[in-house]
Structure 1
Amino acid sequence: MSKTGFRLENAWHPIEGDPSGGFVFTLVNLTDTPISDFKLAYTALTRVMDNPACENATFLLRNANFHQYAPPAGFVLEPGASWRFTVRGLWRPAKHRTDGAKSAYLTFSDGTHHTIDVADLMLEGRVSEPQKPLLPEGRVTEPFSLLPWPKQAKLQAGETPVVLYPAAGSTLADVKAMDTVLSLHRRLFSAAHQPFSLIAVEQGKAIRFQQSGSLAAEAYELTFAEDEIVLAYGGDAGRQYGLTALAQLHDGARRNAALFRFPGSGTITDEPRYGWRGCHLDVSRQFAPAPDVLRLIDILAWYKMNVFHWHLTDDEAWRFEVRAYPQLTTVGVMRGPDEPMLPQLGNAAEPVGGFYTQADVAAIIAHASELNVEVVPEVDIPGHSTAILAALPELVDGQEAPDSYRSVQGFPNNALNPAIEETYVFLGKVFDEMVELFPSKLIHIGGDEVADNTWMASPLARKLMEKEGLDGTFGLQSHFMKRIQKMLAERGRSMAGWDEVSHGGGVDPDGTLLMAWRAPEVGVELAKEGYDVVMTPGQAYYLDMVQDEAWQEPGASWAGTVPPHHTYHYEAVGDFPEDLKPRLRGVQACIWTEHFLNRNYFNHLVFPRLPAVAEAAWTPRERKDWDRFSALVRLSPTL
């Protein structure tokens, strides 16, 4: 039974002549009390237009994903009864069960708000197919648990030692590195047999460490013999990756001895395919507590990924402490019916917040650094700035109509105005604190999804356009980005951004890293313009995308269907001409969290596709094997 006393059932149905179809909502009263004079609000990514056609309801308000309706005047919802209403005028059709209402609440005549339960979106008028298996059973022709698979491996199976331990004469640094990977394994697999001991153990096997000047910093070589294992490495990262490979080999042989063995002899010669092996996490839409962030970084390290791109701000919230502007994490982080920002993306009557203190940030960076993972912070500007403008209304041109443009997500007037000088004062103080917190030489400044007509109703922006000879929204955006680039350079930092940073004339490509997300061919065009590129196309590497076309499969679908098989086989370098390949820095998975309402959704959508990106980032194309991956990835840790 519903815990709240009410349940909102919702369904989508096709409509002839209207490809977007329509919604049917039914509010069921499971209480013993009749209600009247109320309003119903829900959040949904399938948004309605400004004047939707409603039957048996009055449309009141939409703000991005927030929608509100009222029943007909005088309507009373009796105990056990239901209120049914329909809505037409959707921006797009619903394609999956997560495209409906994610949360809902009632507002009563006394102004109080009451969360209600929401059911999955049902499908009317078509067959609702069940989810399909996402992975084949898989098979291995070489019985060794290594993911990502190494560049070269010539191994023969042997007996699995109880543990591996440092050989006599190992340095303190070697033993500390071993302890780091042992601790990583114990955090990820707390019930599994530990792979290492820091002291000699009977029936164990020794690891002898050798630093080699002939190996690159991230490269390692393993030589297996009857009496010991020799780990040669180029730098600290290479030593860690070699130890991680040993931990994986031991872990697989212990947890699935029927399929995997530990090497008794042979060699592994290994180094990464790409220097940038990244994973992005959006913590603005859905807040991830610090322990979850730490565990995700652990998983990245387990798969030899080396960049954590932390998307810390967006329309929905500002998530890290800035001491110069405390209102960013008081006003700019709160969503709720009576808060500065309305509920979005699964929020209901209870106010929600959440942010990282500077101490939290420092601890997360220190943890990542120990695992050779670089933390690249993102402050998404000039668009996606609703939270900033809610906290700092002085950054708004007061002469501009308050709803003169909307973002693709439906947020009104959500971009920082390039013509307001206080904008740069604000960002300068933010950057000052960021460079003290984040050691990365890159600061990601977003730059994506600025609506075509942004700032065109701002007299201040119009005046700046005339003074500087700028052409429209994207000319203004380029002017803004060039100033930001200069501000970062003055602080010893370089700019990273999404591919739209190149719009309107872009910025100086020298030292600028852009991420191609809209389509694979965008990356090639950026490289032609002189930018260094990370490939992260939504069509392959966005881990919020649905993995199957079935209605029951959760996730977004704007970039199409992205099954694990496609993510695994996608070749980022495929369309790059030979002379542009040096511009391709690497690849990155992106975890956008609009659909991530709980940990089960997270794990279902992120795995096995995150390990698939990790193998694409590390393993040479000719060494990849889908069947082997499908067998190995079943040992994967999850959040």
Structure 2
Amino acid sequence: MAKAHDFRLENSWHPIEGEDCGGFVFTLFNLSDAPISGFKLAYTSLTRVMDDPACDNATFLMRNANFHQFAPPEGFVLAPGGCWRFTVSGLWRPAKHRTDGAKSAYLTRADGVHVPVDVDDLLLGGRPAEPAPDLLPKGAVTEPFYLLPWPKAASLTAGDAVPVALYPAEGTGVEDLKAVTTVIALYRRLFSVGHVPLSLAPVHEGRALRFRQAEDLGAEGYRLDFGDVVTLTYGGAAGRQYGLTALAQMLHGTRTEKALFRFPAAGEIADAPRYVWRGCHLDVSRQFYPVADVIRLIDILAWYRMNVFHWHLSDDEAWRLEIKAYPTLTTLGVLRGPDEPMLPQLGNGAKPVGGFYSQDDVKEIVAHALALHVEVVPEIDIPGHSTATLVALPELADGQEAPDSYRSVQGFPNNALNPAVEDTYVFLGKVFDEMVTLFPSELLHIGGDEVASNTWMASPLARKLMAEEGVEGTFGLQSYFMKRIQQMLAARGRRLAGWDEVSHGGGVDPEGTLLMAWQKPEVGVELARQGYDVVMTPGQAYYLDMVQDEAFQEPGASWAGTVPPQHTYTYEAVGDFPDALQARMRGVQACIWSEHFLNRDYFNHLVFPRLAAIAEAAWTPRERKDWQRFAALAPLSPKL
């Protein structure tokens, strides 16, 4: 019986003269005590092979999106201590970074048993080795206060004394006391060994905190006046929390880096956010995140005074939201494995994987976020990116459509819900009915991205619908579909949000619609010209799965280029918008796509400090941003 670590796959990439994309060299080692023959080797990789790749010493068997399977030559026996080496060319793109190779692997023996195979980072052939870079300079502060994001205006005098804690002055109302408790709990969750910065009871050598409300500051605005007593003036409950968080940050910084930071003895902070939308997206389809991790990410958003959590709940790889009307969505629609309804993808191997959020989980997460003034905007990605949905509900396909008649950019065959199948709208109506009871947000994000240009063209039902409705091609059908979805959402009191491709083929009614510009910055300006409200989240600056340096040793994706923290921090999303359109630019958003996040260390390396950089871009006026200051402050930030 095979044991863990009995087999290991080494993989490297090398350039090939005359082939722009180069090739892979794979070497499988047998570290067990028995020979093996008649087996197949499967691996997952974002660097995909074409349909008929050139192989040496192997036979290509199949590919499904990121899943690849090969067999050794007939009669080959892999002896204990021996290895099988084979090469593959015919790649869709060259490998550029160590995470561009195999992410997982397993063997299928002749008797059908699946055996784990260890696999690690891609090795490099044909290029000089480059050490991983330093991504942040040491940084320097001109004002000795830890505040991230930096406030709109501040005039502060540093003090020598550090209050033990801040506590509400006598006579403080119960709502203010509850707000203090909320921030105490937030701090304790993020910094479990830190000394709490706030207390409900008076504290020896503490400082009293007085509360005032002034509605003219706006819901998210606040002012802090420092002296023997600290006064927090706020416009609304969110502003009160942000002021308390700012105080907690300053005390935390003072205690953590005593030589660098001080607590104010006098002066004031007058603060309000730059943008109304300060968001962070999380893809939970490619990799599943436990509830505790989702809650901690929301805590980090609150610490940075971000106010939107965009929850990407479905994609080709899995449907993660429990829908009671369709239980197969979270049975068949989440399982990936060698013998499961969906093949392994991106880090999955011999062991089946699943995972979804029950409706009780969702209620807990939404309530937690709302208590921290973070709005949860749910996304189910339609009509494309729907492989998992169609595996769970195959009746939604046009049975007359040829299989594998089109493929998505990720290589999934026939992965889009068909606008001509009327049951599609029955299904989505029931899904929306359950979602609106779970998510109080006025917005429901319906994806709309990356529908392949020839999608549905082999569907007789789609062809018939095109003739009846007078629409042309894939994007005409998509616009027809999206307009119906928009009406369905409106009937349920919700507005449509989506990715920028929702505008294709005629789009939808721009009134009340929010679209996210991700492909490149110019798209956001064009959407604004068409009358859409826009959130800027271009991959070239705000996609946190992108590599942070060109060195091969730096992990991440690279389709949008190299995105170092300094670029993320200094990028000005509103810069290309004419004055007349700037009101359409609602804010900015980080996107955490999870293809590369196979473990927590990868997550933290890629997400931080760039998430904090986007938080400051969302809050702090351009003229108040300072890269050197940010570089000094960012290392103190919490991580997942």
TM-score by length of 2: 0.99
Provide Cα deviations, 1:72-129, integer angstroms capped at 9, x if missing partner.
0000000000000000100000000000000000001111101110021011111121
Distance 1:10 1:187 in 2: 40
- Aligned partners of 2:291 and 2:361 also within 8 Å: yes
State the AA in 2 paired with 1:31: S
2:68 corresponds to = 67
Partner of 2:174: 172
Cα distance, 1:17 vs structure 2: 1.1
Counterpart of 2:183? 181
Decide whether the 8 Å contact of 2:11 with 2:24 is kept in 1. yes
Corresponding residue number in structure 2 for 1:274: 275
1:211-253 alpha-carbon deviations (Å, 9 max, x no partner): 002211100000001x200000000000000000000000000
Q: Could you tell me how far apart the structure 1 residues matched to 2:80 and 2:140 are?
A: 57
2:256 and 2:34 map into 1 onto residues whose CA distance is 55
| Contact kept in structure 1, 2:43 and 2:69, CA below 8 Å | yes
Aligned to 2:206: 204
Deviations 1:547-592 (A, max 9, x none): 0000000000000000000000000000000000000000000000
The aligned counterpart of 1:638 is 639
SS at match of 2:121: strand
Partner of 1:58: 59
Q: Which residue of 2 aligns with 1:621?
A: 622
Q: Cα deviation per residue 1:283-326 (whole Å; 9 max; x = unaligned)? A: 00000000000000000000000000000000000001000000
Structure 2: how far apart are the matches of 1:198 and 1:628? Answer: 32
Paired with 1:491 and 1:125, the residues of 2 have a C-alpha distance of 58
Amino acid of the structure 2 residue aligned with 1:551: F
Q: Is the 8 A contact 2:220 2:272 kept in 1?
A: yes
Cα deviation, residue 595, structure 1: 0.3
Please show how residues 347-426 of structure 1 align to structure 2 within 5 Å: 347-426=348-427
Matches within 5 A, 1:292-311: 292-311=293-312
Who is 2:432 aligned against? 431
Amino acid corresponding to residue 318 of structure 2 in structure 1: A
Partner of 1:604: 605
Give, as a single letter, the amino acid of the residue that structure 2 aligns with 1:476: L
Letter aligned with residue 532 of structure 1? D
In structure 1, C-alpha distance between the alignment counterparts of 2:413 and 2:219, rounded to whole Å: 48
| Deviation (angstroms), 1:130 | 1.2
Give 1:4 shift. Answer: 2.0
Distance 2:80 2:126 in 1: 30
State the Cα distance separating 1:183 from its structure 2 match. Answer: 0.5
Secondary structure in 2 matching 1:403: coil
Within 2, Cα distance between the matches of 1:530 and 1:574? 18
Inter-partner Cα distance in structure 1 for 2:419 and 2:575: 38
Residue deviations 1:434-453 (CA, integer Å, cap 9, x gap): 00000000000000000000
Which residue in 2 is equivalent to 1:7?
Answer: 8
1:139, distance to aligned residue in structure 2 (A): 0.4
C-alpha distance in structure 1 between counterparts of 2:339 and 2:128, whole Å: 40
Note the C-alpha offset of 1:3. Answer: 4.0
Matches of 1:35 and 1:75 in 2, distance apart?
9
Matched, 1:99 2:100: yes
For residue 316 of structure 1, what is the amino acid of its counterpart? E
The 3-state SS of whatever aligns with 1:574 is coil
CA distances 1:334-392 after superposition (whole Å, capped 9, x unpaired): 00000000000000000000000000000000000000000000000000000000000
Aligned-partner Cα distance in 2 for 1:183–1:593: 29
Question: 1:464 & 1:246 partners in 2: Cα distance?
Answer: 59
2:216 alignment partner AA: S
Task: Tell me the residue number matched to 1:256.
Answer: 257
Secondary structure of the structure 2 residue equivalent to 1:304: coil
Correspondences of 1:500-515 after superposition (within 5 Å) = 500-515=501-516
Structure 2 partner of 1:523: 524
C-alpha separation in 1, matches of 2:390 and 2:105: 26
1:326 aligned residue: 327
CA distance in 2, matches of 1:508, 1:495: 10
**Percent of pairs with identical residues:** 76
Alignment size in residue pairs: 637
Matching residue's letter, 1:184: L
User: Aligned equivalents of 1:196 and 1:3: distance in 2?
Assistant: 49
Contact persistence 2:406–2:452 (CA under 8 A): yes
Q: Deviations over 1:438-489 (max 9, x none)?
A: 0000000000000000000000000000111111000000000000000000
Tell me how far apart the structure 1 counterparts of residues 326 and 216 of structure 2 sit (CA, whole Å).
49
| Aligned residue number for residue 196 of structure 2 | 194
SS of aligned partner of 1:148: coil
2-structure distance, mates of 1:162, 1:395: 62
Assess if the C-alpha contact under 8 Å between 2:4 and 2:116 holds in 1. Answer: no
- Judge conservation of contact 2:46–2:66 (CA < 8 Å) in 1: yes
For 1:180, the aligned partner's letter is T
Q: Distance in 1 between matches of 2:105 and 2:163?
A: 55
Q: How does 1:536-615 map to 2 (within 5 A)?
A: 536-615=537-616
Q: How many angstroms apart in 2 are the aligned matches of 1:305 and 1:94?
A: 35
Letter in 1 for 2:587: G
Measured in 2, the distance between the counterparts of 1:11 and 1:187 equals 42
- Tell me the secondary structure at the aligned position of residue 628 of structure 1: helix
* Distance across 2 between alignment mates of 1:496 and 1:120: 37
The superposition leaves residues 469-520 of structure 1 with CA deviations (integer Å, 9 ceiling, x where unpaired) of: 1110000000000000000000000000000000000000000000000000
What residue is the counterpart of 1:533 in the other structure?
Answer: 534
Structure 1 partner of 2:245? 244
The root-mean-square deviation of aligned C-alpha atoms, in Å, is 0.6
Aligned-residue offset at 1:193: 1.1
**Residue of structure 1 in register with 2:226 after alignment:** 224
Question: What SS class does the counterpart of residue 264 from structure 1 fall into?
Answer: strand
Counterparts of 1:258 and 1:6, CA distance in 2: 51
How far apart, in 1, do the equivalents of 2:216 and 2:400 lie? 64
> Secondary structure at the residue paired with 1:12?
strand
SS in 1 for 2:122: strand
Counterpart CA distance in 2 for 1:529 and 1:120 is 44
CA distance in 2, matches of 1:473, 1:260: 57
Q: Which amino acid aligns with 1:112?
A: V
User: Letter of the aligned partner of 1:168 in structure 2?
Assistant: E
- For 1:341 and 1:12, locate their aligned partners in 2 and report how far apart those are by CA, in whole Å: 28
- Give SS of 1:485's match: helix
Distance 1:320 1:451 in 2: 25
Distance across 1 between alignment mates of 2:126 and 2:189: 48
**Distance (whole Å) between structure 2 residues aligned to residue 572 and residue 11 of structure 1:** 38
- What TM-score do the two structures reach when normalised by structure 1? 0.99
Instruction: For residue 184 of structure 1, report the CA deviation from its aligned partner.
Output: 0.3
Write the letter of the residue equivalent to 1:23: F
Does residue 155 in structure 1 map to residue 151 in structure 2? no
- Local SS of the residue matching 1:291: helix
- The aligned counterpart of 1:110 is 111
* Secondary structure of the corresponding residue to residue 233 of structure 2: strand
* SS at structure 2 position matched to 1:318: coil
Amino acid at match of 2:324: R
Name the CA distance, whole Å, in 2 between partners of 1:10 and 1:374.
43
1:18 maps to 19
SS at match of 2:211: strand
